[in-house]
Structure 1
Amino acid sequence: MAYNNLIAQTNNGIATITINRPKKLNALNMETIQELHEAFKDANKDTQVKVIILTGSGEKAFVAGADISEFADFDEKEGGELAAKGQKLLFDYIEALSTPVIAAVNGFALGGGLELAMACHFRVASINAKMGLPEVSLGVIPGYGGTQRLPQLVGKGRAMEMVMTAGMIDANQALEYGLVNHVTSEDELMALTEKIAGKIMRNSSVAIKAVIKAINANYKDGVDGFKTEIKQFGKCFGTEDFKEGTTAFLEKRKADFPGK
């Protein structure tokens, strides 16, 4: 599928989705959000794809925020609808995706850009990354899940400070906070992210789908994560991957998971 704002490529089981609006610092407009939904949907349906990497084009920005010009004149109803649609179409969609998604954060990840990175299953950052939720400086709050996911990742106090001050943190501080898993040089960002993706791909894709469901359940109101884990654990026993994994272990050989 051809995109106006993205570059989507698949190589050796890794789908790389690159937001390609460098002149706008890869800012999220409505068209880009829709295209991202379609790109993630297509990658998730491709049985050859085992990991998805999301990044931004150029060295300056992963995503520098939302395209403010699109909603500067919205009223209360339109603002609420904007947040609800965006969360359902993209941010919640990525979080619940059955294929692992890694954000490779290069440069600025601000506002909707940081919210997008936080919706991914985990994050790798280049040393030049700057992250923050500056929405209160515009008289609004994060609307794509930022007030919920940031405290889950860095804790309530740090999240309160980051959002209230509208400030940015650098890559090393993000690593200290637990907002990103790894920090590396700009040149090595994609190589390290792909290396981690390769480690994931050696394991059972069926089991990894179950892991995503079980871990996400811990963060949903009214859902017992332990029960979800028990259910997903039991379901694994009925898969071909479980049979292959246990047989390979007993036979002291490397497993060749069929992904079923």
Structure 2
Amino acid sequence: MTDPSPVQPDGEITLTVDGHVAVIHISRPNKLNSFTIPMVEQLESHLAVIDDSEDVRAVIVTSAGDRAFSAGADIKAFSQLSATRMWSTWIRRGHALFDKLAGLRQPSIAAIDGNAFGGGLELALACDIRVMATDAKVGLSELGIGTLPGWGGTARLQKTVGVARAKRMIFTSLMVDAETALNWGLVTDLAERPDVVAKAREIAEQIATRAPIALQMTKQIIDGQSGEGLRLTLEALGSAASSATDDFVEGVTAFRSKRPPQFSGSFDDPGPRDVLHG
């Protein structure tokens, strides 16, 4: 989990793309990779770029240093906010940000190569797949400072490990080790700390070999079935299907020609295809 590049005093989040794999890199190791407002803004920008990309097929989220994947929101920063600003700046914006990560068309992988507490675990939970270092721990510790998980942790954790285990972790600020996290389904893979990012890249490269449109539709269907954005899933798939019909072409043509459409109720079907012989 080394980062040879200079680290900005207030931290930064960078985006690099190698082939079909995008890497989001959190770099604020002196503060356990905790988030500042500028870092939230950077991540928002990077997610917009990824979501708009036709080349990116998988995303890895990783971080700098050797102490923590991320401790979530910077406590010093948000503790100085008024209750109204806490709600409008950190909670609503953080929710929207992690929902955006979870809702990416492309599958995402969290490379948890250090401890992930509070918002750091919530960040990992917003990813589709999680690879964890064998010596790392994860937990939602917010109740210990008089607040509660504010970036989607209560919902995503209980969907991942079950209601009772989620309550056990949150109510007692339980720090879960790697083996327990694997057994509970909180993470999918374990690796020695130096190999976590490599394992995440191995998975990302496997994902990148799949048919991208079918893969992205599959992700959206799975998320919809689990309750994550069901309305958006149905609307997106319905809109995609309708855009393949003759009626859609006729509707747009008629609109541009300023005439009533003549709908046929058929798909834009080129006819039978021999997929075995071309």
TM-score, length-scaled by structure 1? 0.84
Residue of structure 2 in register with 1:257 after alignment: none
Q: Distance in 1 between matches of 2:31 and 2:45?
A: 21
Deviation of 1:110 (Å): 0.5
Check the 8 A contact 2:108/2:128 in 1, yes or no. yes
Deviation of 1:215 (Å): 1.7
Residue 78 in 1 paired to residue 88 in 2? Answer: no
Deviation of 1:53 (Å): 0.3
Residue 38 in 1 paired to residue 45 in 2? Answer: yes
Residue of structure 2 in register with 1:14 after alignment: 21
Deviation of 1:71 (Å): 1.5
Match of 2:95 among 66, 87, 94: 87
3-state SS of the aligned residue for 1:167? coil
Query: Structure 1's 223 and 93: CA in aligned 2 closer, same or farther, altered over 3 A?
Result: closer
Q: Distance in 1 between matches of 2:228 and 2:197?
A: 35
**Runs of 5+ unmatched residues, structure 2:** 1-7, 245-269
Residue 131 in 1 paired to residue 138 in 2? Answer: yes
Query: Structure 1's 229 and 199: CA in aligned 2 closer, same or farther, altered over 3 A?
Result: farther
Residue of structure 1 in register with 2:191 after alignment: 184
Residue of structure 1 in register with 2:176 after alignment: 169
Check the 8 A contact 1:218/1:224 in 2, yes or no. no
Residue 116 in 1 paired to residue 123 in 2? Answer: yes
3-state SS of the aligned residue for 1:172? helix
3-state SS of the aligned residue for 2:203? helix
Q: Distance in 1 between matches of 2:189 and 2:137?
A: 14
**Aligned-pair identity (%):** 33
Q: Which has the larger radius of gyration?
A: 2
Check the 8 A contact 1:214/1:229 in 2, yes or no. no
Task: Read off the aligned partner of 1:87 and give its amino acid letter.
Answer: H
Match of 2:148 among 141, 144, 147: 141
3-state SS of the aligned residue for 2:149? coil
Task: Read off the aligned partner of 1:130 and give its amino acid letter.
Answer: K
3-state SS of the aligned residue for 1:216? helix
Q: Distance in 1 between matches of 2:92 and 2:168?
A: 25
Deviation of 1:74 (Å): 3.1
3-state SS of the aligned residue for 1:7? strand
TM-score, length-scaled by structure 2? 0.78
Deviation of 1:251 (Å): 5.0
3-state SS of the aligned residue for 1:102? strand
What is the CA deviation profile of residues 206-230 of structure 1, one whole-angstrom value per residue up to 9, with x for unaligned ones? 11221222122124389479x9499
Please give the root-mean-square deviation of Cα atoms over the aligned residues, in Å.
2.9
Query: Structure 1's 59 and 163: CA in aligned 2 closer, same or farther, altered over 3 A?
Result: same
Residue 69 in 1 paired to residue 86 in 2? Answer: no
Q: Distance in 2 between matches of 1:237 and 1:175?
A: 42
Task: Read off the aligned partner of 1:12 and give its amino acid letter.
Answer: G
Match of 1:194 among 191, 201, 222: 201
Q: Distance in 2 between matches of 1:60 and 1:12?
A: 29
What is the CA deviation profile of residues 176-228 of structure 1, one whole-angstrom value per residue up to 9, with x for unaligned ones? 11010000111221221111111111111111221222122124389479x94
Farther-moved stretch of structure 1 (101-110 vs 71-80): 71-80
Check the 8 A contact 2:34/2:74 in 1, yes or no. yes
Residue 210 in 1 paired to residue 217 in 2? Answer: yes
Task: Read off the aligned partner of 2:147 and give its amino acid letter.
Answer: V
Query: Structure 1's 247 and 55: CA in aligned 2 closer, same or farther, altered over 3 A?
Result: farther
Task: Read off the aligned partner of 1:142 and give its amino acid letter.
Answer: P
Q: Distance in 1 between matches of 2:95 and 2:177?
A: 26
**Runs of 5+ unmatched residues, structure 1:** 253-260
| Count of equivalent residues | 242
Q: Distance in 2 between matches of 1:180 and 1:10?
A: 24
Check the 8 A contact 2:223/2:230 in 1, yes or no. no
